[in-house]
């Protein structure tokens, strides 16, 4: 019994390393499909963490949440993305506005910043510092992806990464939120994605491209 | 028993102005419904007048609490000061509403008429809320509504670009002023823990001196913006002339007075006076507003703009009285402080009466001739005798001739200035008697101005065909104006009716003040003088019967035309010449064609008053805001990723801040 608890605790903190890895890979990825795959992987790691949390805290609801994450973020959303990429028939490139080297440096700085920000917080509240840092890093990198990638699809993906970070932070600091709230959040993402998907099609149909940096008519 | 019936009557006033009348007007478009609503508005104001009279002349007090229904404490109440201002509102509202019946009927279509009446009713309610509020929240709600509803009344008349620009300036300055008022209320909050007026009054002694100064200055600026003291008056000559005449009568006659009410409430009731420089600040503001107001008024030939500038002047006179009172209060002379305060409050009421009468007169003129440009009027006295006589009474009142109401309050103001020489303080001994000269100059210039107005508009020959074919105003308009004229005369002849309760009112505001002798003596003398003058006039009228009618001597010319008369501009030329350093006129003379200067085909001359202080005071401020806005605009690129970058950078900055904060 004690062994399981120790194992899950270790798991929760050490799997952050893999999250950092996905983040770093994601900022250098050149293709949309690679990014989607990495996102799916990232979500899978988070699913594992949810299950680990369920084992450690003995929460039945956590398994339901974990199943939902698996279903929606690991399978459904990436699948929808691949279909979207196929249907849109636009070039596969993410159209980064920073070179891969710059991106890695910025992502590294983000990771450093998240450790720095979390450091003092982690000592007062008993949460695994690495996991919390990973959550903040996900939030920051998600925003960075939204800012630096010109493809509308990448903005959606950035938002999802950001959301992953928020989800992870919530999971770690509260040891699992009530099921109702979790379901509400999932519903939120789904509706948001649906809307963004529709808008992506509209952008493509209206402007024949997906480059958001060229959409600058909305100003007073 | 009596208290209950007063409460019911006051509740009726609020309910009919705020709910019943507007609902009837909006719900039903029939003529009968409108007549019912108008009767309700007039009737409820008559009821309100009696409520105010009971609380002003009697000892009755009143409190109504609505705190159960509102998120913040909302309560109304009537003490003597509130009752005085409620009396003022109701006294002016009844004749203005009666006048408005035929004015709105003539000027607006069926659709608009109901809306404008609904606005009218709510505007009255908002002003009543301001003067009867007994919590800060109620006061501020009324204050904001008053601004917005009056702007609504202005926009009812039309929405051309120029009008919108003027309304924009009006709203801008009103909101800046309201911000200062809100701030001065909230500065009390740490000490009083509530915005209840009673709580503020009780907490006021423990407020530290620095905060008191801040509260006073904020209240001075905030209420000064609404009252239109120079240099915060910019909105006034823009907003008042473009409103429908009954609305301008209410705005100039009543709305400005709510600012005086607010200032008296703060300076006397809450703060209980202060160091003597408070008084000097108010005195200087009053003197500058009075002088510049009347000088600008003389240069105008648009009747409504001229009247708007005279509002600035009269607010200046009121502020002179308030400032003197504060100086006396700081020098421990409560009786003299009471005298100056009585003078200021009485002038507030008087100005409400004659200024609304003048604006109604302007409305009647524009109704008959479709213009308020003095240069196109003339000879109206014969064509509109009742309007002319009422207008003349208002002119005599505003320039402070004896037997008219303006005289009483200006006389008392003079007496309080002269009393300044008995103080032991050297500064006060010098400054206060000097103000006698200022007030005398204001009075003289105002007299010149109204000689011009009445002479050009009502006497002589008509200067346009519209003026020639003018007909007397309809019955209800005449009725409204006659009521106000009668009130002006009544106060001018029997001032004691008001002076006695005003003395007891000031005793509440200024502890230790008795009844000033000057108020008693003038109340005693004036009726006798009136009787003597009436007697002499009656005797001379009866004895001299022979009247010889002869044509005006035309200096040998056989034909006199209206072009030979004094124009409004020509009449004011000597004064404008003497005070040319004030006006700094920008003159321009164009002769066409330019290559033959001695054989011009057309000559045009233009003289525009440039107010240098407006540029000097407001320009840098406006430039700063505009350039800052231009700089900020560069943030808005239109690119979604840049917007996202802002969010991202904010996030990073906050996290960095979190790191280094601990």
Q: Does residue A218 sit at the B interface (CB-CB below 8 Å)?
A: yes
Inter-chain contact B639–A146, Cβ cutoff 8 Å? no
* Range name among A73-77, B239-243, B583-587 with the lowest pLDDT average: B583-587
Does residue B4 register a pLDDT over 80? no
Map residue B229 onto helix, strand or coil.
coil
Distance in Å from the first CA to the final CA of chain A: 64
Residues near B255 by beta carbon (within 8 Å), at least 6 away in sequence: B127, B146, B150, B226
**pLDDT mean across residues, chain B:** 89
Does residue B662 register a pLDDT over 70? no
Does residue B406 register a pLDDT over 70? yes
A176 — pLDDT class (breaks 50, 70, 90):
low
* Chain centroid, CA B400 distance in Å: 17
Are A90 and A204 within 8 A, CB to CB? Answer: yes
B610 — pLDDT class (breaks 50, 70, 90):
low
B600 — pLDDT class (breaks 50, 70, 90):
confident
Inter-chain contact A147–B644, Cβ cutoff 8 Å? yes
Mean of pLDDT values over A56-80: 85
Does residue A52 register a pLDDT over 90? no
Q: Which of B641, B656, B658 sits opposite A147 (nearest CB)?
A: B641
A90 — pLDDT class (breaks 50, 70, 90):
confident
Map residue B193 onto helix, strand or coil.
coil
* Range name among A111-125, A152-166, B604-618 with the lowest pLDDT average: B604-618
Strands B62-65 and B602-609: unpaired
> What are the residue boundaries of the structural domains of chain B, listed by start?
1-272, 274-538, 566-609, 620-661
Does residue B616 register a pLDDT over 70? yes
Per cent of chain B over pLDDT 90 is 49
Q: Does residue A15 sit at the B interface (CB-CB below 8 Å)?
A: no
Q: Is the peptide bond before A138 cis (omega within 30 degrees of 0)?
A: no
Residue A204 vs residue B224, higher pLDDT: B224
Q: Which of A116, A143, A215 sits opposite B640 (nearest CB)?
A: A215
Mean of pLDDT values over B114-128: 92
How far apart are alpha carbons B423 and B420 in whole angstroms? 6
Question: For residue B629, which residues of chain A lie inside 8 Å, CB to CB?
Answer: none
**pLDDT mean across residues, chain A:** 83
For B399, list phi and psi in degrees, rounded to 5: -90, 0
**What count of CB pairs under 8 Å joins A to B?**
56
Q: Six-digit token pair at B454?
A: 């009445």
pLDDT for position B179: 95
Does residue A1 register a pLDDT over 60? no
Residue B221 vs residue B428, higher pLDDT: B221
Mean of pLDDT values over B150-167: 88
Inter-chain contact A216–B637, Cβ cutoff 8 Å? yes
- What is the CB neighbour count within 10 angstroms for residue B210? 8
Does residue B73 register a pLDDT over 90? no
Residue B596 vs residue B281, higher pLDDT: B281
Question: For residue B636, which residues of chain A lie inside 8 Å, CB to CB?
Answer: 219-220
Residue A3 vs residue B174, higher pLDDT: B174
Does residue A217 register a pLDDT over 90? no
pLDDT for position A219: 60
Of all residues in chain B, the one with the smallest CA distance to A212 is B640
pLDDT for position B274: 85
Distance from CA of A14 to the nearest CA of B (A): 23
Q: Which of B636, B644, B656 sits opposite A220 (nearest CB)?
A: B636
How far apart are alpha carbons B377 and B373 in whole angstroms? 7
Q: Which region holds residue B333: left if phi is over 0, alpha if psi is between -120 and 50, else beta? A: beta
Q: Which region holds residue A150: left if phi is over 0, alpha if psi is between -120 and 50, else beta? A: alpha
B141 — pLDDT class (breaks 50, 70, 90):
very high
Question: For residue B651, which residues of chain A lie inside 8 Å, CB to CB?
Answer: 139-140, 143
B120 — pLDDT class (breaks 50, 70, 90):
very high
Residues near A163 by beta carbon (within 8 Å), at least 6 away in sequence: A142, A189
Place of tokens 């008509």: B462
B357 — pLDDT class (breaks 50, 70, 90):
very high
Q: What is the pLDDT of residues B541-575, one digit of tens each?
A: 888 877 788 877 878 877 788 888 888 888 888 88
B266 — pLDDT class (breaks 50, 70, 90):
very high
B309 — pLDDT class (breaks 50, 70, 90):
very high
Of all residues in chain B, the one with the smallest CA distance to A117 is B659
Residue B1 vs residue A17, higher pLDDT: A17
From residue B376, alpha-carbon distances to A76, B14, B240 in Å are 81, 43, 21
Does residue A220 register a pLDDT over 60? no
Q: Which region holds residue B215: left if phi is over 0, alpha if psi is between -120 and 50, else beta? A: alpha
pLDDT for position B256: 93
> What are the residue boundaries of the structural domains of chain A, listed by start?
2-214
Does residue A122 register a pLDDT over 70? no
B628 — pLDDT class (breaks 50, 70, 90):
very high
Its sign, for the CA torsion A210, A213, A216, A218, is: positive
Q: Exposed e or buried b for every residue in B44-80, given b needs 16+ CB within 10 A?
A: bbebbbebbbbbbbeebebebeeeeeeeebbbbbbbb
pLDDT for position A205: 78
Distance in Å from the first CA to the final CA of chain B: 66
Q: Does residue A124 sit at the B interface (CB-CB below 8 Å)?
A: no
Mean of pLDDT values over B392-409: 92
Q: Which region holds residue B211: left if phi is over 0, alpha if psi is between -120 and 50, else beta? A: alpha
- What is the value of pTM for the model shown? 0.79
Task: Report chain B residues touching chain A, CB-CB < 8 A.
Answer: 633, 636-641, 644-645, 647-648, 651-652, 655-656, 658-659, 662
Inter-chain contact B651–A216, Cβ cutoff 8 Å? no
Inter-chain contact A140–B640, Cβ cutoff 8 Å? no
How far apart are alpha carbons B188 and B266 in whole angstroms? 11
Mean of pLDDT values over B62-88: 87
Q: Which of B638, B648, B658 sits opposite A217 (nearest CB)?
A: B638
Q: Please, what is the Cα angle at A14 between A11 and A15, to 5 degrees?
A: 75
Question: For residue A97, which residues of chain B lie inside 8 Å, CB to CB?
Answer: 641
- Nearest in space to B91 (alpha carbons), one of B56, B123, B48, B57: B48
pLDDT for position A146: 87
Does residue B158 register a pLDDT over 70? yes
Does residue B243 register a pLDDT over 80? yes
Contacts 24+ apart (CB under 8 A), A186-193: A186/A68, A186/A72, A189/A72, A189/A160, A189/A163, A190/A72, A192/A159, A193/A77, A193/A80, A193/A156, A193/A160
Number of separate helices (H) and strands (E) present in chain A: 9, 0
Full 3-state SS string of B257-298: HHHHHHHHHHHHHHCCCCCHHHHHHHHHHHHHHHHHHHHHHH
Does residue B369 register a pLDDT over 80? yes
Per cent of chain B over pLDDT 70 is 99
Inter-chain contact A218–B638, Cβ cutoff 8 Å? yes
Q: Which of B633, B638, B648 sits opposite A147 (nearest CB)?
A: B648
B287 — pLDDT class (breaks 50, 70, 90):
very high
B345 — pLDDT class (breaks 50, 70, 90):
very high
């Amino acid at each position: 019994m004690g062994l399981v608890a120790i194992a899950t605790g270790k798991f929760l903190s050490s799997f952050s390393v893999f999250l950092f890895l996905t983040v770093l890979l994601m900022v250098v990825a050149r293709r949309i499909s690679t990014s989607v795959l990495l996102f799916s992987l990232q979500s899978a790691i988070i699913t594992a963490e949810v299950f680990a949390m369920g084992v450690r805290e003995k929460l039945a609801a956590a398994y339901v949440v974990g199943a939902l994450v698996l279903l929606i973020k690991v399978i459904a959303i990436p699948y929808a993305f691949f279909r979207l990429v196929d249907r849109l028939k636009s070039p596969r490139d993410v159209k980064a506005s920073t070179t891969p080297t710059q991106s890695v440096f910025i992502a590294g700085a983000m990771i450093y910043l998240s450790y720095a920000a979390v450091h003092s917080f982690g000592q007062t509240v008993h949460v695994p510092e690495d996991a919390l840092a990973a959550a903040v890093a996900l939030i920051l990198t998600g925003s960075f992806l939204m800012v630096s990638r010109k493809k509308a699809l990448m903005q959606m993906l950035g938002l999802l990464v950001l959301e992953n970070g928020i989800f992870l932070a919530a999971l770690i600091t509260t040891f699992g939120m009530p099921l109702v709230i979790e379901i509400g959040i999932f519903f939120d993402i789904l509706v948001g994605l649906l809307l963004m998907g529709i808008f992506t099609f509209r952008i493509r149909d209206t402007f024949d491209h997906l480059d958001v940096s060229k959409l600058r008519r909305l100003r007073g | 028993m009596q208290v209950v019936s007063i409460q019911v009557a006051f509740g009726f006033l609020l309910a009919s102005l705020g709910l019943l009348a507007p609902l009837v007007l909006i719900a039903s478009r029939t003529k009968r419904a409108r007549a019912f609503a108008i009767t309700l508005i007039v009737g409820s104001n008559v009821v309100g007048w009696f409520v105010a009279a009971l609380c002003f002349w009697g000892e009755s007090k009143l409190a109504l609490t609505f705190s159960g229904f509102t998120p913040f404490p909302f309560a109304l109440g009537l003490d003597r000061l509130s009752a005085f201002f409620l009396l003022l509102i109701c006294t002016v509202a009844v004749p203005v509403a009666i006048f408005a019946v035929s004015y709105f009927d003539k000027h607006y279509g069926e659709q608009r008429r109901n809306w404008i009446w609904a606005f009218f009713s709510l505007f009255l309610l908002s002003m009543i809320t301001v003067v009867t509020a007994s919590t800060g929240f109620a006061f501020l709600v009324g204050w904001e509504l008053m601004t917005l509803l009056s702007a609504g009344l202005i926009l009812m008349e039309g929405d051309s670009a120029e009008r919108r620009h003027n309304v924009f300036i009006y709203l801008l300055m009103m909101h800046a002023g309201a911000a200062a008022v809100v701030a001065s209320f909230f500065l009390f909050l740490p000490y009083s823990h509530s915005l209840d007026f009673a709580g503020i009054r009780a907490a006021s002694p423990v407020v530290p001196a620095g905060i008191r100064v801040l509260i006073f200055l904020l209240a001075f600026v905030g209420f000064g913006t609404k009252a239109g003291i120079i240099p915060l008056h910019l909105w006034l000559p823009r907003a008042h002339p473009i409103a429908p005449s009954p609305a301008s009568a209410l705005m100039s006659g009543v709305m400005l007075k709510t600012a005086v009410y607010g200032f008296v409430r703060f300076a006397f009731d809450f703060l209980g006076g202060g160091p003597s420089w408070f008084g000097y600040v108010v005195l200087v503001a009053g003197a500058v507003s009075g002088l510049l107001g009347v000088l600008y008024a003389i240069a105008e030939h648009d009747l409504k703009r001229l009247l708007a500038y005279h509002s600035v002047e009269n607010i200046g006179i009121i502020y002179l009285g308030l400032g003197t009172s504060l100086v006396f209060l700081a020098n421990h002379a409560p009786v003299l402080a009471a005298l100056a305060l009585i003078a200021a409050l009485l002038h507030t009421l008087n100005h409400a009466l004659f200024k609304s009468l003048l604006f109604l007169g302007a409305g009647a003129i524009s109704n008959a001739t479709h213009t308020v440009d003095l240069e196109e009027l003339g000879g109206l006295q014969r064509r509109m005798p009742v309007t002319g006589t009422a207008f003349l009474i208002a002119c005599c009142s505003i320039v402070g001739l004896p037997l008219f109401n303006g005289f009483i309050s200006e006389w008392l103001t003079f007496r309080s200035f002269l009393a300044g020489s008995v103080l032991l303080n050297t500064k006060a001994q010098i400054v206060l008697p000097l103000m006698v000269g200022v007030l005398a100059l204001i009075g003289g210039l105002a007299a010149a101005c109204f000689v011009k107005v009445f002479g050009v508009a009502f006497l002589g020959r008509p200067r346009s065909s519209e003026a020639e074919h003018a007909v007397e105003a309809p019955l209800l308009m005449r009725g409204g104006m006659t009521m106000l004229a009668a009130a002006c005369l009544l106060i001018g002849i029997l001032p004691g009716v008001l002076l006695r309760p005003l003395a007891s009112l000031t005793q509440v505001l200024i502890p230790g003040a008795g009844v000033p002798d000057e108020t008693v003596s003038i109340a005693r003398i004036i009726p006798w003088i009136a009787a003597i003058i009436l007697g002499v006039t009656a005797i001379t009228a009866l004895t001299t019967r022979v009247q010889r009618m002869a044509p005006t001597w035309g200096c040998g010319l056989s034909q006199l035309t209206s072009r030979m008369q004094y124009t409004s501009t020509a009449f004011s030329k000597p004064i404008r010449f003497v005070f040319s350093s004030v006006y700094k006129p920008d003159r321009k003379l164009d002769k066409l064609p330019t290559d033959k200067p001695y054989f011009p085909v057309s000559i045009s001359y233009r003289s525009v008053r440039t107010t240098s202080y407006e540029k000097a005071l407001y320009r840098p401020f406006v430039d700063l805001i505009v350039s800052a806005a231009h700089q900020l605009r560069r943030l808005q690129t239109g690119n979604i990723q840049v917007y996202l970058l802002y969010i991202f950078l904010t996030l990073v900055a906050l996290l960095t801040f979190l790191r280094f904060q601990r």
